[in-house]
Structure formats: C-alpha cells, structure tokens
A and B are shown apart, each in its own frame.
Chain A
C-alpha cells in the first residue's frame, strides 16, 4: 500500500509553499536538517565555537612556530629561511632543517635551563601544595556563612595586575625593603638578607602568584567530601590524624593533581617572575627563550625551544587527562 496515496493534498501544499513564503526560516530549517544529517546537534554547535577559536589562535600560531623551528636562521626579514619554495616556478622545494633541535641537544645551556625550570616549578608546586592544602581545608570546613568571604579573599589579588604584584615583591625583598627593615628592627638579624635576585625570591614569587590556582581546585574537592566518611572512620576506631591520611588525603587526590598541574605547567614556562626577582644565575627556559628571540634574533632556535617546552608540558597534561578519565569511569 502506498503511503503517498493517503497523503492529503493540503499537506503537500504547505510543504511546497513554505520556502516561498518564509525563505529565511526555510533556509534555517534546511541548515538544521543538513547539520542533523551530518551529525551536528545543538550541543555540537555550542562546542564548535570555542574549538574554532582555539583552532584559530592556538593551533595556527603553533603551526607557524613549528614551521619556523624547522627553518634556518638568516639575516633577512623575516629572519629565517622559507620552508617551501617554488624553484623556477615549477617545482615545490621543501627544505626541512632539524638542526635547531639538534643544536638544543648540543649546547648544555638548554638542557640545564629546562631541568632548572622543571626543578623550580616542582619545588614551587610543592610549596603551593603545602601552604594551599591547609588553607583549602580550613575554608572547606569553615562555617558555610564564612566560606564565600574566605574564598573571595583568595581571589582578591587578581583584582591587581600580575606584573604589579610581582613588582611589589621587589619592594618587600630588596636590601632595604620591608622584610629586611622589619627583621632588623625586631633585632632578629644584623645584616640585611640578600633574598632579592636569587632563586629564593623566584620561589617566593611563583608560590605567591600561583597559590590561588592550587587552593581553588583543592577547595572544590574538599568541600564535596562527605563528612560522614570521617565520622565513620572515627567510629571504626581511627584517630583524627590517621583518618585524614587514610580518608581525606586519598579522596582529595583529584584536587591535588588538578591544583598541581595548574601551578606546575605555567611555572615551568614562567618568564616575568625570574626576570624581575631572579638573579643573573637563575636559569629558566622562559628567559632563555626571550634571549634567543630578542637578543640573538635567532627565531628558528627560539621556536625550537618553544616547541620542546610545549612537548615537556603536554606529557603531564595527557597523563592528567588519562587519570581523570579513568577516575570518571570508576565513578560510574
């Protein structure tokens, strides 16, 4: 039996007339149907916009930097050799130069700078964790009426520019700065401490600047923690400190991981803090990159440094993603 035969005439009329009367609606509907057929739903469209943004402003510059890192330095404008070239207008010549990467391995400066950056970032992350965990714990267990105000205080420094806040530390740490004057006046020290322009100042600067990024994810996990679990532990004979170690700490691991990555990743590539607070022998990869680019004007090597740094950072991010995925699977 043919379905067509039963279709009333009116229906066919409206179907045919729609695009004529309302071309805009019809076009929209046609696009919707096309998107639907291509498997794009409303959700997909919403996600597509930020993806497009990232594609334009992250992936494209990344490709450009990658391209530069594979070229040779020239004294020209731009100061590198082209990757693709038309030879006699007929052949496409591609010249790939891995020399920049090999050069990074050759000169120990780069390896030392990378390792030093990792070391500084790691120690700063640990300091952030040691200071941030008790703070996050205190906020999460505070009276609910106080929590939002306490969190506000954590976020408050963001109202001032990052650069200005780092500058302010110069005033605090310098030879006759706030800290030294205070300690001398208190009679704790005789001679001013040489903190500024040393690794210590860099640790202080990074820990101070990135502390909120550690506290916020930690707070989020600790606040969600079911208090009755600690009561259950106590009920089963577990003393408070041991209950913290066996219950609270393992269950806040996702927060520790998220906070640590949020501190560690930007700290590795940090440039401003070691530049302003660090000494001449504070070697960090961000500074090396800056020098390579602006002082040596060796764009290809600078690009290679940047790409290598990115690879260094992508590995922990992927590890994090993997762990999170596994944990979400476990929740289900």
Chain B
C-alpha cells in the first residue's frame, strides 16, 4: 500500500486545526430509565485513526459503540459520520460495520456465506461478490477454510471470519467490541499486531472498545478513558500514561505511586509540594500553575524511580523506607518499599546485568529517588 509505515509518518490529524473530524460525537447522553449510561460525551475521531474507548465494565463504552452502530438511540445529542447526522438512520443503512464481541457468526452459513452476507444485502453481482469475499478472506489468511461452518473453526479463526465479514463492505467506520477478549493470552498478543497491520492496509477508521489497558496502549492512535458514563481523559497512549489528569486514569492505566501533599511553591518552571508521605519536598519541573495551598496528589510511575542503599545526597524527590517484598520477573524486578509514614511504594527496576545475588534484599533500608520530570501533579 501507499503508506506501509503510517506510524513513522506520524499521523496526528487531531493536531491539525484544518482537519475535519470524520466522526463527531456531539453532547451525546444515553439514559436507560433512571440510569445514565453515557453522560454528555463530545469527541472527534479522525479519518484513519484506530481509536480506543477504554474503561471498566459498566462505564458506558459499549453503549457509546452501540450508538455509533445504531442499535441504541442517543437520549440527547447527535452523532455525525463523515458529516452526516446519524440520528434518523437505522443500523442497516449506516456506513458502519461492527465486529461483535461474541462474533455473532451465522451458524447455518459457511465462512464464505457469512463474509458475503453484507454484500448480498447490497445486491453486489456474483463475480464481484466472490472476488471481494476471497480478497477479505485472504486478508485474514482464511482462504482455505471458506467452505467450513463456524462450529468447525477455532476461536481465533472465528475472530478472523468476523473481522473479514465486517471489513468486506469497506465501511466508513469499523466498530470493534472487545475484539480480542475471547482469545487466549498468546493469541491475543499476536492478533493485536495483526489487527493494526490490517487496519493500516485497508485504511478504514477503527473504533475499538476494550477494558484491557495494555490492548488499548499497544494498538490505538488515541484513547478515550471512560468512567461511569463520563469521558475522563482523551489522548495518545503516551499522553495518557505520562500525564494522567486524574487519580482514576493514573491508577487505571499501568501502575502508579500516589503521594498526597500541599503545594508550597508555584514558580514558572516548577512547583514544590510538601508531602507527609515521603517526608521530603516533591519537585515537579513541568507542571502547570497550581495555587499555593492546594491539596494535590503527585503520581510517579514505578519505573521512573531508582533504589539505592547509600544516601543519594539530595533534598527533594527522595523517600526512605525498608524493602517489604521483592518480585523477580526476569526482565525486571518489583520492589515494594514501606516508607516511615506507612505508605507502600512500588519501584520497578530493570535487570540490566546478570545477577545471581541481589544487591538489595528483604528488610534492607533503602532510598528511593526520582528525577524532577518524573512526577505529575493531579488535582482531581
């Protein structure tokens, strides 16, 4: 294809103010009786994105996806796809296809008939239909199984049929509801990359729902983190991981240490936070302005921290404690350190050298340090 390495060309249409959003979700609310599943969500999705809706169960992500597909109608707000308001358009007339979590393959039809179903609805003539079905099955590497019925396929093969069936109509938008949830761990990891490759090949905009933050991180261009019907943060995987805006996002995506504290200094290039938990002041070099006297949390990722047995000789961003637990994972080790204030801090350190004897062991008194850029101030 024309752009085999899209990631390298750095597609970031959301940075471009002249770019028209492809999917526009505008103030959408969905209520089921008294329960508000989706609460006033507005977001834009751009052409060619692999967009992830991430959240725990019941956060409204699936409801939002189903509204894009047309299976649910928004109580308030509008959804536009390629500039067209979808409010009055039933699912069977939308330029959108969905890959269901259960795959929803028609059990009485062969793989070929399943994939061709959508084209038959559009009365695509026979030769073209066969050609496109073959093409879609080649894309998911299932050409040799087209005469089988769904019950004769493995879980991974069914997933591919479902994908081929939803891709064959070349929709403007492909919706994926937990596309990898039914696969085992190893297959899931392989399929993650394959799905991204396929998306780049066909160039269709994907919107994916997932509860698995790792899946969202590896696959998507941008992630919308949802909680209790709210959109809590929207950004690229790196933005969301490095700059979580709330405790919820910080804790939901990856591991994090949170220290509560009071802002004591607010300068142009840094803020200083006094924390009872660490006993030292926390220096953050990149934070925006936070008024002095505000109670905040400082989030520090475990891999950005370092352990030492000797005093590091710094006054800020340091904590003292004893090693409570060590987990050796091979490529890295996880240390749980109990501070004097009782706070447990999680530190991961890569095992760069081959060690037979750990330099740091249980019950050791250690110092934890981290650089000025590591911490993130969270006010929510």
Contact = CB atoms under 8 A, between A and B. Distances in A.
Interface in B80-135: 90-93, 96-98, 100, 102, 104-108, 117-118, 121-122
Given A228-B102, A228-B104, A251-B107, A236 B149 contact: no
Given A233-B117, A235-B69, A330-B149, A251 B98 contact: no
Given A231-B91, A250-B108, A237 B121 contact: yes
A323 interface: no
Contact of A231 (B71, B105, B108): B71
A237 B92 contact: yes
Contacts of B107: 251
Nearest to B97: A235
B61 interface: no
A4 interface: no
Contacts of B108: 250-251
A237 B151 contact: no
A181 to B, nearest CB: 47
A238 B149 contact: no
Interface string A216-236: 000000000010110111111
A236 B100 contact: no
Contacts of B118: 236-237
Interface in A179-237: 226, 228-229, 231-237
B92 A235 contact: yes
A29 to B, nearest CB: 44
Contact of B106 (A232, A234, A331): A232
Given A251-B107, A330-B149, A331-B151, A234 B102 contact: no
Interface string B62-81: 00000001110000000000
Interface string A106-118: 0000000000000
Nearest to A253: B108
Nearest to A237: B121
A236 B100 CA distance: 12
A242 B166 CA distance: 19
A238 B104 contact: no
Contacts of A41: none
A234 B165 CA distance: 13
B169 A236 contact: yes
Interface in B201-229: none
Contacts of A240: 92
A234 B100 contact: no
Q: How large is the interface on B (under 10, 10 to 19, 20 to 34, 35 or more residues)?
A: 20 to 34
A228 B91 CA distance: 13
A324 to B, nearest CB: 15
Interface in B286-321: none
A119 interface: no
Contacts of A237: 92-93, 118, 121-122, 169
Contacts of A165: none
Contacts of A228: 100, 102, 104
Residue from the set B118, B121, B122 with the largest chain A CB neighbour count within 10 Å? B121
Nearest to B121: A237
A232 B92 contact: no
B160 to A, nearest CB: 16
A36 B334 CA distance: 57
Given A235-B98, A236-B165, A229 B121 contact: no
Interface in B127-180: 149, 151, 165-166, 169
Contacts of B97: 235-236
A236 B102 contact: no
Nearest to A240: B92
A54 interface: no
A126 to B, nearest CB: 23
B106 A238 contact: no
Contacts of A238: 92, 117, 121
B122 A234 contact: no
Interface string A60-101: 000000000000000000000000000000000000000000
The 9 closest A-B pairs by CB, nearest first: A236-B118, A237-B121, A232-B104, A228-B104, A234-B91, A234-B92, A235-B98, A238-B121, A250-B108
Given A236-B97, A237-B169, 14 more contacts: A228-B104, A231-B98, A232-B104, A232-B106, A234-B70, A234-B91, A235-B71, A235-B98, A236-B165, A237-B121, A238-B117, A251-B108, A331-B151, A332-B151
18 contacts: A226-B102, A228-B104, A229-B104, A229-B106, A231-B98, A232-B105, A232-B106, A233-B106, A233-B117, A235-B70, A235-B98, A236-B92, A237-B118, A237-B122, A237-B169, A238-B92, A251-B107, A251-B108
Interface of A: 226, 228-229, 231-240, 242, 247, 250-251, 330-332
